[in-house]
Amino acid sequence: MYTKKANQILIIGIIALILAVFPMVGTACAIFGLIVAARNKNARTLIRADVGRGLSIIALLINIVAIIYLILFKQISHTPAWLMSLREAFYATKFYSDFENNFITDNRYTFIRKGLGVTFEVTFFAVLLGIALGVVVALIRSSYDTLKEELKGGFGKAILFILYKICGIYLTVIRGTPVVVQLMIIYFVIFASSNNKILVAVLAFGINSGAYVAEIIRGGIMSVDKGQFEAGRSLGFGYVRTMAFIIIPQAFKTVLPALANEFIVLIKETSVSGYVGLQELTKGGDIIRSRTYSAFMPLIAVAIIYLLIVIFFSWLVSLLERRLKNSER
């Protein structure tokens, strides 16, 4: 019964999000989904119901914004007198005057929109680079810790030892210096002749994130019971196959929520990209401030956007953690 209700809540949430293009209908569907979720609290223990409820909330917020826009700004051929009075009263407020000056005049809202796209672009590729670097560094460090007793000298142990020390220096330097300093060194020193600011930002944030991802993954690998290594060896697996088929899958499941949180942190860290002239979200708000000489509204708008992004991804991380806990039972 609970599964059936959970499926209903999920379907209603999806439909409400699709119907967001029709604000009145979408709002009614979103409210209906929330009512169904509230009346079936036991079904909300299932992830599908939680996702459906979250989609209904998102759809409701989108529809509320759309309705407010239609009421205050949409041109209607036969506008009712009450609506004209409401609009005139709103247009006369200082809030609208500041809003128009900061976002509508000269289409200044496009600085925010374009900046948000750049923020997501840099974050996405920096996360991929950070995970790739983190996995390599974590495997080198954990392999040395595991095999240093078994490898009795030789070329292989010397190479592994050198790589281990290089990784140690990388972690010490990257985690011991501010990300904004690393960004400026890469842009003004290493890539001084390059004009590709997005590439520079991706490299800077990816290299910085890789140091933290490496320790997250290494912690996950070291948390796997040593008996799993012995079990792999007893099955005839070598070290590489044991790591690939037994250890890493278990470790990855453990560290996945922490990696997702690193993604959230990285989104906020990209706000310092403006130091090298990259027009990301924060820089977009600052450009508006420099043109209107009004700091409150553009910076508050940027803060709200970051907050909504973090809330959304934190919700996804909580769903992921619940899913992993349920799969362990």
For the chain, domain boundaries: 2-92, 109-328
Task: Specify the pLDDT at position 308.
Answer: 92
Assign domain 109-328 to its CATH superfamily.
Answer: MetI-like (1.10.3720.10)
Task: Specify the pLDDT at position 2.
Answer: 64
Query: How is 296-328 classified by DSSP, letter by letter?
Result: HHHHHHHHHHHHHHHHHHHHHHHHHHHHHHHHH
Neighbours of 192 (CB within 10 A): 8
Q: What is the pTM of this model?
A: 0.85
SS3 193: coil
> What is the rounded distance in angstroms from the CA atom of residue 288 to the CA atom of residue 195?
23
Phi, psi of 189 (to 5 degrees): -115, -60
Query: How is 249-278 classified by DSSP, letter by letter?
Result: HHHHHHHHHHHHHHHHHHHHHGGGGGGGT-
Tens of pLDDT along 97-125? 998 899 988 889 999 999 999 999 999 99
> What is the rounded distance in angstroms from the CA atom of residue 50 to the CA atom of residue 37?
8
Task: Specify the pLDDT at position 247.
Answer: 81
Task: Specify the pLDDT at position 150.
Answer: 65
pLDDT, mean of each 10-residue run, the chain (329 residues): 78 88 87 86 75 88 87 77 84 88 90 93 94 91 75 71 91 94 93 88 94 91 80 78 80 83 90 90 92 91 93 85 68
Task: Specify the pLDDT at position 328.
Answer: 58
Query: How is 125-162 classified by DSSP, letter by letter?
Result: HHHHHHHHHHHHHHHHHHHHHHHTTT--SSHHHHHHHH
Q: Which residues contact 273 (CB under 8 A, 6 or more apart)?
A: 118, 122, 183, 197, 201, 280, 282, 283
